[in-house]
């Protein structure tokens, strides 16, 4: 199987889009018509929640598939509903892949040794299963947390190597208190810079034809100066950039995460797209029945917004 970054670039080129759509379903924000129909059949149960999430996600995936390169289901929103939620997570991944989208599982998993291997096998690889291994969730990439150091990351890198998958390591997050640890300075380097160098080390032996490594980084879009600096440090890493739209960053803020020749980053928006029907500027134009049309309008706008900003910066690769 080809490298994850090779497949990601091809998908970006095909869709002419650097957009990743965050599939973060919330029961109380999903249109009533979807809920009513499923509750009528399954009652107000966790099974119903799983089916509601799946149907909503399928609607979103259908609406955005031509305008986005990838989707990023945030597993927390599924996991909170137990195994019925996880079933919806599995089926969402399956559906997105069928619709020609890459899937980045947002799980921020972390552990050591055989436990990290269990996560890596499950999310990216194949799990121990009698005589033959069995594919797990089948995501194309996974977000991970590197606080435990190399032996927490190695099993994920191994899965990337064997399966043509990718990981995105939390380096600099966009939340207000991210700096409590990430900004501390040790030996003239901030902790997030140390993490960035570890990202380089971890990806050293697993690069594509353009030099992009399978070990990427999560870089919050709300700190463009830091993104620029981190782009310097991690010349070979793909950046997963959350924070566009709902978290306050616009297209300008995400430009520094891209390399000069374009590529090098993928930008995520969740609420701003999937719940566009409830949000400015779309809510006056679309009803709840039109949540798909609203999502499509929002993702199309985001695609153009980013492409325009990249073009102005001389970074649009086509």
Contacts by 91-98, CB closer than 8 A, 24 or more apart: 91/54, 92/23, 92/53, 92/54, 92/57, 92/58, 92/61, 93/137, 93/138, 93/139, 94/138, 95/54, 95/57, 95/58, 95/61, 96/23, 96/57, 96/61, 96/71, 97/138, 97/140
**Shortest distance in whole angstroms from residue 290 CB to a copy of itself:** 24
Which one, 84 or 200, has the nearer CB to a copy of itself?
A: 84
Which one, 79 or 260, has the nearer CB to a copy of itself?
A: 79
**Shortest distance in whole angstroms from residue 73 CB to a copy of itself:** 12
CB 142 within 8 A of CB 58: no
Q: How far is CA 165 from CA 105, 155, 288, in A?
A: 11, 12, 36
Which one, 143 or 257, has the nearer CB to a copy of itself?
A: 143
Residue from 226, 219, 232, 117 nearest 168 by CA: 219
Residue from 274, 258, 292 nearest 12 by CA: 258
DSSP annotation of 137: S
**Shortest distance in whole angstroms from residue 93 CB to a copy of itself:** 10
CA distance 178 to 167: 20
Structure tokens at 295: 């999502």
Buried b (16+ CB within 10 A) or exposed e, 89-115: bbbbbebbbeeebbbbbbbbbbbeeee
Which one, 215 or 297, has the nearer CB to a copy of itself?
A: 215
Which one, 10 or 181, has the nearer CB to a copy of itself?
A: 181
CA distance 201 to 94: 32
Which one, 128 or 260, has the nearer CB to a copy of itself?
A: 128
Interface residues toward a copy of itself, by CB under 8 A: 24, 26-28, 44, 46, 49, 74, 76-77, 79-87, 89-90, 108-113, 115-116, 118-119, 121-123, 127-130, 134, 136-137, 145-152, 170, 173, 175-182, 184-187, 191, 194-195, 198
**Shortest distance in whole angstroms from residue 210 CB to a copy of itself:** 28
Residue from 132, 295, 110 nearest 218 by CA: 110
Estimate the crossing angle of helix 191-203 against helix 224-233, to 10 degrees.
40
**Shortest distance in whole angstroms from residue 259 CB to a copy of itself:** 26
**Shortest distance in whole angstroms from residue 221 CB to a copy of itself:** 14
Q: Which residues are marked as active site?
A: 108
């Amino acid at each position: 199987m080809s490298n994850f970054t090779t497949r990601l670039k091809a998908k970006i080129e095909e869709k002419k889009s650097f957009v990743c759509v965050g599939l973060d379903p919330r029961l109380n924000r999903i249109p009533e018509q979807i809920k009513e129909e499923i509750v009528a059949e399954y009652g107000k149960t966790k099974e119903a929640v799983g089916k509601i999430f799946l149907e909503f996600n399928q609607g979103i995936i259908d609406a955005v598939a031509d305008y986005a390169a990838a989707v990023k289901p945030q597993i927390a929103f599924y996991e909170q509903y137990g195994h019925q939620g996880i079933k919806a997570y599995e089926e969402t991944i399956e559906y997105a892949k069928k619709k020609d989208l890459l899937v980045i599982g947002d799980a921020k998993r972390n552990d050591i040794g055989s436990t990290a291997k269990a996560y890596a096998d499950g999310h990216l690889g194949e799990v121990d299963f009698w005589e033959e291994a069995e594919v797990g969730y089948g995501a194309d990439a996974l977000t991970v947390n590197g606080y435990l150091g190399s032996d927490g990351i190695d099993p994920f890198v191994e899965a990337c190597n064997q399966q043509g998958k990718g990981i995105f390591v939390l380096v600099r997050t966009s939340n207000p208190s991210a700096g409590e640890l990430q900004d501390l300075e040790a030996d003239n380097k901030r902790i997030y810079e140390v993490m960035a160098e570890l990202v380089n080390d971890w990806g050293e032996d697993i690069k594509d034809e353009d030099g992009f490594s399978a070990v990427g980084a999560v870089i919050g879009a709300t700190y463009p100066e830091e993104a620029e600096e981190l782009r310097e440090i991690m010349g070979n890493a793909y950046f997963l950039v959350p924070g566009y739209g709902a978290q306050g960053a616009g297209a300008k803020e995400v430009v520094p995460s891209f390399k000069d020749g374009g590529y090098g980053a993928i930008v995520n928006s969740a609420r701003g797209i999937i719940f566009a029907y409830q949000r400015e500027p779309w809510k006056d134009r679309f009803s709840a029945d039109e949540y798909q049309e609203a999502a499509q309008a929002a993702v199309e706008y985001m695609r153009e917004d980013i492409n325009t900003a990249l073009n102005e910066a001389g970074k649009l690769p086509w």
